[in-house]
Structure 1
Amino acid sequence: MSSNGTQHSLADRLILQLDQALHTLVPGSSTASRPSPATQVEDSGMSDAERKAAAGLMRINHTGEVCAQALYQGQALTARLPDVRESMNHAASEEIDHLSWCEDRLGELESRPSVFNPAFYAMSFGVGAAAGLIGDKWSLGFVGETERQVCDHLESHLTQLPAQDTRSRKILEQMIVDEREHGDAAMAAGGAELPAPVRTGMKLMANVMKSVTRRL
């Protein structure tokens, strides 16, 4: 059921998922509902090397948001309880801000999103759909663990950004606040703690994504 009370069939939801995928993957298609935190500060002068380093980190973060969109959409497609489905859709809508902010910052850094985003979207959508099929408590637990790991890597990126890159820093700081809220909300809604091997597997997958997308 949608937020306005309309019941959607599986075919309807698949069409909506396709539309969301296109909005996620086509540059310039996502529009943030909130202004970018980067607007709070002036762009500082950076060397070419510093801009390249910052762009690599923001490209990783952009791909992370592509994956987040896919995960939430996959989980929303297969979630069994309507309120869980709505929770996934709500979180995905807030993540669009992050996607747009990162994309805009990449443009300011004279760079672009990763060419591998479509592949990572497809993989993440499949993982999200599988998590939803297993059960809502595991799907919510997956969200909680995903957001914890995302916060960890965003905090790591704060220490790696060039000191002068205050615009990227402001974006990441707000993303951390939002991601932590999403994770806490998922666990409070009944999410189950994931087994250690699953958490380790998620970290390994994230590391592959980060190494691949930093330059491409």
Structure 2
Amino acid sequence: MSAAAPAWRPGDARSDSHSMLRVDQAGEYGATRIYAGQLAVLGEHHPMSGEIGRMAAQEKEHLQHFDALLAERGVRPTLLQPFWAVAGHVLGATTALIGPQAAMACTAAVEDEIDAHYAEQLAALGDSDPELSARIARFQADEREHRDIALAAGAETTPAYPLIYSAIRTGCRIAIELSKRI
């Protein structure tokens, strides 16, 4: 009796697609948690709260799309989701505690990394999955808009901006790699 072949292997198109969906769902979930942390500190009456709330609503919409795609395509979410729930909220709250510009520095760094990540995914997908490519392209445009809003709101005026920006982008890269696999 021979052993059954696995349903997919690393490097297979299905495996790559599942990895993309897993990490995208995790990223959108993390973004909702970051914005929740920012709003928890800044409150609903801060001048930036309306804009942060609008960005949070878009991230929630992105998350709902990826949740649906995971269910539709039989992809499990990352096992790290409970960790990302806490880490995202702490990151958002901590940067907001530093100040609204630091919260926007966080947004700029995260959205720059997600923009680059989505660009890599679109290149990898090519014409293989038009539905997923269309969603990623649409969400990438939203992420770029969030970054531009953050920059216009003074993200770069944050003390130690280059350090904060680099640290957050590095953290995002690590989160992306872990969420692809776990």
Q: Same fold (TM over 0.5)?
A: yes
Question: How far 1:162 sits from its partner (Å)?
Answer: 6.2
Inter-CA distance 142–193: structure 2 relative to 1 (3 Å threshold): farther
Aligned-pair identity (%): 22
Structure 2 equivalent of residue 53 of structure 1: 16
Structure 2 equivalent of residue 188 of structure 1: 152
Whether 2:162 is the aligned partner of 1:199: answer no
**In 2, Cα distance between the equivalents of 1:191 and 1:201?**
14
Structure 2 equivalent of residue 132 of structure 1: 96
Question: How far 1:58 sits from its partner (Å)?
Answer: 1.3
Deviation per CA, 1:119-167: give whole Å up to 9, x if none. 1110111011011111112212221222112111111111223642111
In the alignment of these two chains, the number of paired residues is 170
The residue type paired with residue 176 of structure 2 is K
Whether 2:78 is the aligned partner of 1:114: answer yes
Question: How far 1:183 sits from its partner (Å)?
Answer: 1.4
Using the size of structure 1 for normalisation, the TM-score is: 0.72
Question: How far 1:189 sits from its partner (Å)?
Answer: 2.6
Tell me which moved more, 91-100 or 199-208: 199-208
CA contact (8 A) 1:50 1:162 kept: no
- Greater fraction of residues in helix: 2
CA contact (8 A) 2:109 2:169 kept: no
**In 1, Cα distance between the equivalents of 2:157 and 2:14?**
39
Inter-CA distance 144–193: structure 2 relative to 1 (3 Å threshold): farther
**In 1, Cα distance between the equivalents of 2:15 and 2:72?**
11
Aligned-residue CA RMSD (Å): 1.9
Using the size of structure 2 for normalisation, the TM-score is: 0.85
The residue type paired with residue 126 of structure 1 is V
Deviation per CA, 1:25-69: give whole Å up to 9, x if none. xxxxxxxxxxxxxxxxxxxxxx95312211101111111111101
CA contact (8 A) 2:110 2:172 kept: no
Q: In structure 1, the residue corresponding to 2:181 is in which secondary structure?
A: coil
CA contact (8 A) 2:32 2:56 kept: yes
CA contact (8 A) 1:53 1:162 kept: no
**In 2, Cα distance between the equivalents of 1:162 and 1:130?**
38
Q: In structure 2, the residue corresponding to 1:187 is in which secondary structure?
A: helix
Structure 2 stretches lacking a partner, 5+ long: 1-6
Inter-CA distance 73–128: structure 2 relative to 1 (3 Å threshold): same
Whether 2:36 is the aligned partner of 1:70: answer no
CA contact (8 A) 1:137 1:190 kept: yes
CA contact (8 A) 2:34 2:92 kept: yes
Structure 1 stretches lacking a partner, 5+ long: 1-46
Question: How far 1:111 sits from its partner (Å)?
Answer: 0.9
Structure 2 equivalent of residue 6 of structure 1: none
Structure 1 equivalent of residue 181 of structure 2: 215
